[in-house]
Amino acid sequence: MKKISDIPESDRPREKLQQKGAEALSDPELMAVLLGKGTVRHDVLYIAERVVKTLDVAGSKPDLKELLAIEGVGPAKATLIAAALEFVRRRIRPEGLRISSPSDVLPIIRHYADRKQEHFLCISLNGANEVIANRVVSVGLVNRTQVHPREVFADPITDRATAIIVAHNHPSGGLKPSKEDMEVTRQLKTAGVILGICLLDHIIFNGKGYYSFSDDGKI
């Protein structure tokens, strides 16, 4: 990853935000703005990248110990991150967002499009197709070992969800589902029938577009 000093001033996170708006920044860039600066050993973008990876795994409520375990993150930065996440969670939440089509899902998943690893997400929905929660189930290659029904459905069961939508990014750029994607979808649909939680869709996405199993009649 480039250091702040290697980036033209106009393209640095803070300046980029001022010129183009927060939505133009990647997650690491947004985190770099929050962190402000790095340390003697690590550039702020390096630290921001590791914070984002930790949040992808820990979710929106990371333990302070997990943040403090990141080299370059001390008590001040850790508490700032935790406070920022809680502030946003209280005011800007996906809960209640009604899903009528695959495109309605994109606003709450598209920030994962630039990840270098595949992130498998599960969105819990209530009987009115409103979002209850959106979570990362696994990080890495999508296969039957990592994306097991027990991992995918564990939280939706607790949520008392009536349906789920799963999604994952394709870092390679292509949107065509692989054989593994097809098999995982089949397995989750079967498990959902047994549990009484309907699998509405499996969405594959990148920075340019998306593929919907539902739209393609494959679910």
Which pLDDT does position 3 carry in this prediction? 78
In the three-class reduction of DSSP (H, G, I as helix; E, B as strand; rest coil), residue 153 is classed as helix
* Structure-token pair, residue 151: 């991992």
Q: Give yes or no for residue 95 having a pLDDT over 90.
A: no
What are the pLDDT digits (tens) for 20-73? 999 889 999 999 999 999 998 899 999 999 999 888 877 667 789 999 999 999
Backbone angles phi, psi at 128, to 5 degrees: -95, 15
Look at domain 102-212 and name its CATH class: alpha beta
- Count other Cβ atoms within 10 Å, centred on residue 107: 10
Which pLDDT does position 125 carry in this prediction? 96
Percentage of residues in the chain with pLDDT exceeding 70?
Answer: 93
What are the pLDDT digits (tens) for 196-212? 999 999 999 998 899 99
Q: Give yes or no for residue 216 having a pLDDT over 90.
A: yes
Residue 72: name the closest of 32, 104, 112 by CA. 32
Query: Please, which pLDDT band fits residue 92 given cuts at 50, 70 and 90?
Result: low
Residue 132: name the closest of 157, 102, 151, 107 by CA. 157
Which pLDDT does position 119 carry in this prediction? 92
* Structure-token pair, residue 188: 């989750």
Alpha-carbon span 90 to 100, nearest angstrom: 24
Domain boundaries, the chain: 4-91, 102-212
Which pLDDT does position 182 carry in this prediction? 94
Query: Please, which pLDDT band fits residue 91 given cuts at 50, 70 and 90?
Result: low
- Provide the sign of the torsion angle of the four alpha carbons 116, 147, 107, 61, taken in this order: negative
- DSSP H helices, 143-217, are 149-159, 179-195
pTM here is 0.71
